[in-house]
Every structure is written in structure tokens, then in C-alpha cells.
Amino acid sequence: MADLQTLKVELGDRSYPIAIGRDLLRSGFDIRPYLPGGDCLIVSNEIVAPLYLQRVTALAKYCNVHSVQLPDGESSKTLAAVQTVIDELVRIGARRDATVIALGGGVTGDIAGFAASCYMRGISYIQVPTTLLAQVDSSVGGKTGVNHGGGKNLIGAFYQPELVLIDTATLGTLPEREFSAGLAEVIKHGAIADAEFFDWLESNMQSLLKRDDEALATAIRRCCEIKANIVAEDERETGDRALLNFGHTFGHAIETSLGYGEWLHGEAVAAGMLMAARLGGLNRSDQDRLRQLIAAAGLPVEPPPVGAGRMRQAMQLDKKASFNTLKFVLLRELGDAYTTTEYSDSLLSEILQSAGGKHDL
């Protein structure tokens, strides 16, 4: 397995590896050290399971392997889906030494991880992300949970996996729109923490869009390095981990206002990053570079017409808001982000007007 790269999320006795490589699901990656007991439940969805369930089942052959398939899409990220996973764990008689394997994108990973955190007060789980967004962001760091009608990811837990297994070959079956949505999170990592990586993305975006193996491996590894380092310093988002939410306060409000699934998460974050860049007074040249890179990735550069009032209402329900004060991640310059509750409300209102439309309150 010559192309295997391994990183580590350093969290003391809860540390875990991130294994990155092409065809890891086909080559017989040894996951025995991460399977503590007799039962294993693979949680996937109706799109991914026909493609990769058989391969993951073969990897986990040392256990009694079971599987459950969920509906695809953000609209299925609900407590009902968590209940489905827990019901299956009960049905197979899973004990505390059982393992849940999340096989799919960020939605599947969030649901499966949250179910694992709840069942018998916590059992092991493994992330096998098959979308770019999940590989560079949501599978790393232990954020699990589901949506509520009042807001995105309002119900969940910080719960770390035992292993993140990233097979870059799975990106070959990813629809173009989903792939572009994942590039939003790739761009975000450069924008908040690594100006040189942002430069690299500007030079290599066309290679990424062509799904060049070398370019993908470079981008995925760098994003995982950035996130692993941040999570190791601030697991429960009391400080710098909040920087990973660049564009998300606006982005989550877009998703909530439109209805989950209308825009993909990465699409909403893309527009949200540009709104946040404007709110933070990022210099015009850097704003233009960010806009051009987002556009080059095939992502939206303007919010949808959901209405300024509805956007503001959704933002007040954001998990990062407190005492009616919003917390934003803003940029001093590309590669240098900070969090703040100090911003111009008049400028915020002006920015939200760009989302004005027939849905306004």
C-alpha cells in the first residue's frame, strides 16, 4: 500500500489515525485493530451502499457484519434516522463492544456517529467518508448530530471516531455538483489557515476539477492536517476550533431558510464565505481572489433570494449565537482568520439585503 498516508488527531487516549490513499477499500486495509468486538453495523445510504457496501463488509469480515441503509440527502438528517440506526443495533443485540461504521457522506457520518454516541452511552465508530466534503471536513473532529426545524445541527454531541479511512477512489463516482460542494470546504481551509495552500488552490483548481489523483491527495491531506491540528488544540470548540466555521453562520442560515437539501451544504458555505469576507472588511483584492476561486470551483458567489429578515432570524438560532449576539469568523487577510462578536450591524443588514426576495418576512 505504497500510497498510504497516515495522520493522527492528537487527543490523548482518544487519539485516532486518518488513513488516506487510493483504493484502500479494495486493497484490504487492516481495520482489525479498530474493531473491538463481535458485532459491526455498517450505516450507509441508498446511493453509496450499492457501490461500496460489499467492499467494507469484506474489510470487517472479522466481525458479525450487519448493515442498514438510510435515505440520501440533508433532509434525512433527523432524529428519526438516528432512531433507525439505534433500532437496528437493538435488533442485532449489539453490546458495548460493537462498532458502527459510517459509510457515506457527511450526513451519514453525522447520523451514525451520533447514534454510536447514544447507544449504551457510547460505542466505537469508524468514519469511511465517500464525498470530498466529508473527507476534508466532517469526518474529522468528532462533531456528530442532526438538524432541527429551528436550525442546523442543533442536536448532537462531540464524539470522536476510532479511525477515519479515506479512499480517494470513491470520489470517482461522486456527482459533479457534490464534488464542487466539497471544494467549498477545501477553499475554506486555505482561507482561514494557510495562504500558501490558498495560492496552491488557485494554481491547481482545474486539476482538482479533473479529479487528478495527485492533486486530490495533496488537497485532502492538507485539509486534514489543518483540521487535525485545530481539533487537537480545541476539541469542543471553546476557542480556535470555531475558525473552521468560516462562512457557516451565513451558510447555515441559507440552508435553514431554504429548507434542508435545496442548496448543498458546500454551496451555502461558498456564498457564506463571501458574505463573511465582506462583513470583516477583507481588502478588495483578497475578496476578489476568494470570489474568483469559488467561482472557478463551480460554486455560487451570491446567496439565494430567501429574504433578509428570514436570514437574520435563522442566524439568531445559530449555535454560536449567545445573548442575541452573533459570533462571526472573519478574515484579516487570506490565511488569517479570527472570531468576533464585534461587527457593524448596519453592514450586516446591507449584506443580508443581497439575499432579499419574495421569501422575506
Which domain CATH number covers 181? Answer: 1.20.1090.10
Whether 185 is catalytic: yes
Contact 116, 200 (CB under 8 A): no
Which pLDDT belongs to residue 47?
96
Regarding whether 122 and 137 lie in a shared domain, the answer is yes
**Domain end position, chosen among 143, 173, 203:** 173
Backbone phi, then psi, for 336, in 5-degree steps? -140, 100
- Whether 361 maps to a domain, the answer reads no
Indicate whether 182 and 37 sit together in one domain: no
Choosing from 248, 289, 310, 320, the catalytic residue is: 248
User: Residue 124 sits in which domain range?
Assistant: 5-173
Is 265 an active-site residue?
yes
One domain, residues 106 and 63: yes
Q: Which of 227, 289, 310, 320 is catalytic?
A: 227
pLDDT on residue 194? 98
Query: Would residue 143 show up in a list of annotated catalytic residues for this protein?
Result: yes
Which tens digits make up the pLDDT trace of 161-172? 999 999 999 999
In this model, does residue 265 exceed pLDDT 70? yes
**Which pLDDT does position 357 carry in this prediction?**
63
* 358 catalytic per annotation: no
**Least confident segment among 80-89, 124-133, 191-200, 307-316:** 307-316
Active site residue 66: no
Instruction: Identify the pLDDT of residue 322.
Output: 58
Same domain as 191, residue 335: yes
* One domain, residues 139 and 213: no
Task: For residues 22 and 153, state if they share a domain.
Answer: yes
Confidence of residue 361 (pLDDT cuts 50, 70, 90): very low
3-state secondary structure labels for all residues of the chain: CCCCEEEEECCHHHCEEEEEECCCCCCCCCCHHHCCCCEEEEEEECCCHHHHHHHHHHHCCCCEEEEEEECCCHHHCCHHHHHHHHHHHHHCCCCCCCEEEEEECHHHHHHHHHHHHHHHHCCEEEEEECCHHHHHHHCCCCEEEEEECCEEEEEEEECCCCEEEEEHHHHHHCCHHHHHHHHHHHHHHHHHHCHHHHHHHHHHHHHHHCCCHHHHHHHHHHHHHHHHHHHHHCCCCCCHHHHHHCCHHHHHHHHHHHCCCCCCHHHHHHHHHHHHHHHCCCCHHHHHHHHHHHHHCCCCCCCCCCCHHHHHHHHHCCCCCECCECCEEEEEECCEEEEECCCCHHHHHHHHHCCCCCCCC
* Domain termination residue (choose one: 149, 173, 197): 173
**Residue 145: inside a domain, yes or no?**
yes
Residue 133 shares a structural domain with residue 181: no
Determine, yes or no, domain membership for 113: yes
Closest by CA to 188, choosing from 229, 141, 246, is: 246
Average pLDDT of the residues in 99-114: 97
| Residue 146 Rama label (left phi>0; alpha psi -120 to 50; beta) | beta
- Which of 153, 245, 255, 310 is an active site residue? 245
Pair (230, 166) in one structural domain: no
Domain termination residue (choose one: 125, 152, 173): 173
**CATH code of 24's domain:** 3.40.50.1970
Catalytic residue among 152, 188, 189, 265: 265
Residue 54 cell numbers, joined: 460489499
Is residue 359 included in any domain, yes or no? Answer: no
Known catalytic membership, residue 241:
yes
Round the CA-based radius of gyration of the chain to a whole number and report it: 20
Q: What is the mean pLDDT of residues 28-50?
A: 94
Is 321 in the same domain as 256? yes
The whole-number pLDDT of residue 317 equals 76
Q: In this structure, are 185 and 167 located in the same domain?
A: no
The average pLDDT across 7-28 equals 95
Residues 277-308 pLDDT 10s = 999 999 999 999 999 999 999 999 999 999 99
Residue 79 lies in a domain: yes
In a domain, 57, yes or no: yes
In a domain, 358, yes or no: no
Structurally, how many domains does the chain consist of?
2
Report d(CA 110, CA 108) in Å as an integer: 6
The residue-averaged pLDDT of 234-251 equals 93
Residues 112 and 51 in one domain: yes
Question: Quick check: is 333 in a domain?
Answer: yes
Nearest to 74 by CA among 345, 271, 268, 297: 268
Catalytic residue among 74, 162, 178, 185: 185
Q: Which of 74, 162, 178, 237 is labelled catalytic?
A: 237
Tell me which of 222, 241, 289, 310 is the catalytic residue: 241
Same domain membership, residue 138 and residue 74: yes
